[in-house]
Structure 1
Amino acid sequence: MLHCHVLTGLHRMEETMLVKMTNIMHAAYYVARTEQPFTHFTTLHGLINRTGGQLPNCYASNKACERYDIHKMFIYRQSKRTSKDALFQCFSSCFDSDFPKQHHNNLYCCLSPIRFVVIIYEMELEKLLQKLKLAKYFSVMIDGATDTATLENELVYVRYMDTEGPINSYLKIEDVKHANAAGVLEAVYAAFSVAGLVDWRERLVGFGSDGAAVNVGCRTGVATRLKEQVPHLIPIHCIAHRLELGVVSAIKENPKMQQLQATLCSIYEQYHYAPKALRELRMIAEAMEEKVLKPTTLHGARWVLYVHRAAKVLCDSFPVILAHFEDMASLERRPKPSAAVTGRAKKVSSYLKDYGSVLFLHFLCDVLDHLATLSKVFQKDSVTVCEAVESQERCFWNLSSLKTRMGLCMETFVEQSNGSGCYKGVQLNRASSSTLEPQRAAVIDAVISHLDERLKDLHQDSIVAKFRALDPSCWPKYDHTDAVARETFTQHGQEEMKSLSGFYKELLAKAGITPEEVIAEYAQYKSFALRRSAVPMRDIFLSVLQSEERRAMFRCLCHLMEIYMVLPVSTAVCECGFSTMKRVKTDWRSSLTTAQLQRLMFISIQGPALEDFDAASAAQRWWTSSLRRRRPGFNPWSSRERGDEEDELVLMGSEDELEE
């Protein structure tokens, strides 16, 4: 014990140096957290010193931020006072693999310099791994993309229960040697292996991905291969992706929607590829004293939101855009545009001058309003199956109501046109009192049909749908005075609970729970949740899982509740991860290794806010992680020339210290 206290005292940093190293850790964390290049560290270091901050005179270069500032060790020749075998054994222990045999007689090596970024990364990674080790169950979410260096990467996220609810956390980015199911699965295994989670498959309950065949293929897909090893695994195709695919399928069936989509694409291409056209559009808007927004693209990761935004821009800037296209289609325009531009202008202006087309445009804006709201819910990190199903049903009710009544955008258009066909100063052709009821019904029926087909596994004929037996809003009405109603209420959900307890039989058995105990506890849960029928299912589960008393009351059902909460309904968070990757690994930083990219992405995504970062702990970790005592600013060559050659082991400082 005394020996430990002595070592702690020897490793204790002076207060003044601790303050300086804490400040330099703040600077290094700022560079990594804000996704700045390492070259900004030198400027930041100088700025802090010029403004009165306390920073050490050493570690002022970008290499200090990038590298672990531990002293390099250079070995020149064999030491007289240390045997060759002893040196060989010592330095072999510093490497993951055996020390190269060719250096046995002439030992010369350079340990990789430790970096501030790695110190911070390891500290933050330990926090996440500690939470994962405490989690009973978790799910994995993956997605793949290519970076600026044309390397195939697989992003791995984990979803687990925290004290505040389900959390999606970034775990790892891995190189994919082969972009097939075996290669992707190997990358997933590598991610968990590096993280040190040996028993991850025993606690894995869900797998989330996009709809690529390599992920969800029924024969050799990643989900199928995982399910062979984890029988209780539930693969889920991202609901946000399925929403986009369902809307695209509905558009392909409707000619009027296809025509509108083609018009929006033509308008975007006109202004995206021609700066002159955009400049003219703004000049026309200024002359008409109208506001105009630049037409946006229809293509993106969140397709529904992009189409919704493009339709909104056209509705808001309708008179200005129409005036510009009419000017481009005019025969008197000088200089005369190309035949392709003139033809496009005539087609777009003809479409925008038609009363029925503009009315349909505003109707589609109402439809997209509800779909965009649903898409945003599907993209939330905290979304659960029950919340997704409730949002879907609410969206379907709102869409169905548009069959018989006009939405806000369509109603505004009808009021402003006032039956004469004059809208925002533009006289439209073929004006009528029609409200397009047949076309509206056809569009809404197609959208609901395709979405219901793609999302039916959430509420029909699947193990995920069985969890709805725990949702009090789905239970039959309870009337204690009616014997039939009481019996119906008592029997409701029994079969679903049997299916769930059978599906998770192995997991429950490890916790010492039998299917009979689950069924018996379900009756008790009904009396508890019946008084909370107006409370969302997610909040009921959280109220149980966050209370020790209620966890003890529902010891068996707690396992099913936690499994349900961590099911990966949406993988939209993976798209955010790739956005971070593109910001960190730009064309100017394309040589970043995967290991360094992993550190920077982890700090950017998982790191705390700048004001919450514990720089003092990072400085202490840096101080105690050295192979020998830290000596910031020490120059071992101050008392002798560089050209001296001595037959001994020389320990040199870092490159930054040598420069000092």
Structure 2
Amino acid sequence: MSFFLQDVLSVLHTTCLSLQANNLTFSEVSDYITACKKAVDELKSRNGSYFQQFLDSVREYETELEIEFHGHTIPANKKQRENFAKSSEKFLTFLSDNLASRFVENDDEISSAFDILVPSKLPTEADQIAKYGDVEISKLGEFFGTDKTDGDGNTVNPPLNKAKLISEWSLFKHVMCKYRNQEFTEFWEWGLKTHDQAYPNLCILATICLTCPVTSVNVERGFSRYNIIKTALRNALHTDNVNNLMMIKIEGPPLTDFDFDEGFKLWCSRKDRRVLSPKFIETVKSKCTDVVQPKVSETAKTNAVGEELKYSQEDVEIMIETVVSKLTGVLSKFGDTQQDKCTRDF
């Protein structure tokens, strides 16, 4: 049973990862769910890879009442084999029905109609493009191009004009043909900047589609990042700092691409740092005779009126060398391995 469940969970795990991808579209959700249901149904008629490996490893016990597997004795009489076959089929049927009830195909015609805005969905034949998306654009125009009434009974004006939307679509779908290989989000980020004047109603529709969240994964991922950043020990972080750290964590490049040397230099150049002051350098000289004695350039000296200090590239490099030397001396007591590792990480 464990190997059988491993096959099932592998299918569900892959589907979950697919649904957590960024820039997911409504049509892709339907495709992933359909593929998942088909894969689950196929397990009824054929063994999964993990379960098949188990059967191959115990093939010699196929006619016996007990199976020896990695030191465990597994009862395997005829009745138990039949019960397993019935239970596994019943489980797969229940799982498939549950997926079908939770993700009904075409349960939302408006969401499905947005698929026409995906460049990769365009047909390749020229004669098919002429009528492509006409039904869907009419549905979208009817929904977003007519007056609505809010909960208080007030009339809400539509965000776009239905007739103009249909007219714009009849021309713009031919423009999209040149960009079939582009991602949906990438294409419309370019389209909103380039065609907002020529196709205003279509751009409004694309903005609505981009705004509608396909899943809540990004929201949950944001809360997870927030809990990692603002811990109990960092509960005094200012809101602006939290927001900046969240943006870097979610939208920024990988940590492996970060240049720590450049970051340290930028940190040093933003304002006067105690570690860069001439007084600090003299303190280092007097207390740490075993470190490299840094030289201070003229730009690091203050004048009589106390003007703001400005540090050159030479100053920054001097202090990087000083701090590393100081750190090396402190870490020497912990041994060579820890010292090398910490110095390298620093």
Partners of 1:400 and 1:571 in 2: CA distance: 27
Partner of 1:442: 90
User: Out of 560, 565, 572, which is 2:217 matched to?
Assistant: 572
2:40 to 392, 399, 407: 399
User: Structure 1 pair 553/365, CA: closer, same or farther in 2 (3 Å)?
Assistant: farther
Q: Which amino acid aligns with 1:514?
A: N
* TM-score, with structure 1 as normaliser: 0.32
Q: State the shift of 1:592 in Å.
A: 2.9
Mapped partners of 1:565, 1:486: distance in 2 = 23
Q: Matched residues in 2 for 1:614 and 1:568: separation?
A: 35
Partners of 2:195 and 2:176 in 1: how far apart? Answer: 12
Q: 1:526 to 1:602 in 2, by over 3 A?
A: closer
Q: How does 1:217-616 map to 2 (within 5 A)?
A: 360-418=1-59, 419-420=62-63, 421-424=67-70, 426-432=72-78, 434=82, 436-456=84-104, 459-461=106-108, 463-470=110-117, 480=127, 491-502=134-145, 509=159, 514-527=161-174, 539-540=183-184, 542-546=186-190, 554-587=199-232, 589=233, 592=236, 595=239, 598=242, 601-602=245-246, 605=249, 609=255, 610-611=258-259
How far apart are 1:362 and its partner, in Å?
1.9
1:519–1:581 CA distance, 2 compared to 1 (3 A): closer
> Which runs of 5 or more structure 1 residues have no equivalent in the other structure?
1-359, 624-630, 635-651, 653-660
- CA shift, 1:372, in A, is 0.6
Tell me, in whole angstroms, the C-alpha distance in 2 between the residues paired with 1:476 and 1:380.
Answer: 25
Residues 365 and 409, structure 1, Cα contact 8 Å, conserved in 2: yes
How far off is 1:371 after superposition?
Answer: 0.8
Spell out, residue by residue over 1:126-162, the C-alpha distance to the aligned partner (whole angstroms, 9 max, x if none): xxxxxxxxxxxxxxxxxxxxxxxxxxxxxxxxxxxxx
| Cα shift at 1:373 | 0.9
Mapped to 1, the partners of 2:139 and 2:43 lie a distance apart of: 35
Hey, what's the Cα distance between the residues in 2 that align with 1:466 and 1:504? 20
Residue 368 of structure 1 deviates from its aligned partner by 0.9
Q: What does the per-residue CA deviation read over 1:605-657, in whole Å, with 9 as the maximum and x for residues that have no partner?
A: 2666531866666666547xxxxxxx9679xxxxxxxxxxxxxxxxx9xxxxx
Q: CA deviation at 1:415?
A: 1.8
Whether the aligned pair in 2 keeps the contact of 1:469 and 1:496 (CA below 8 Å) is: no
What TM-score, normalized by structure 2, do the two folds share? 0.56
Q: Which residue in the other structure is 1:189 paired with?
A: none
Deviation at 1:404, TM superposition (A): 1.7
RMSD: 4.7
Equivalent residues of 1:498, 1:515 under 8 A apart: yes
Percent identity at matched positions? Answer: 18
Q: In structure 1, how many angstroms separate the alpha carbons of the residues matched to 2:87 and 2:252?
A: 50
Cα 1:495–1:389 shift into 2, 3 Å: same
Residue 379 (structure 1) shift: 2.2
Q: RCO (CA 8 Å, sep 6+): is it higher in 1 or 2?
A: 1
User: Counterparts of 1:87-126 in structure 2 under 5 Å?
Assistant: none
User: Using a 3 Å threshold, how does the CA distance of structure 1 residues 477 and 617 change in structure 2: closer, same or farther?
Assistant: closer
Gaps of 5+ in 2: 149-155, 280-305, 307-346
Shift of residue 551, structure 1, vs aligned partner: 6.4
Aligned residues: 260
Closer, same or farther in 2 for the Cα pair 1:473/1:401, shift >3 Å?
A: farther
Q: Secondary structure at the match of 2:75?
A: coil
Quote the offset at 1:369 in angstroms: 0.7
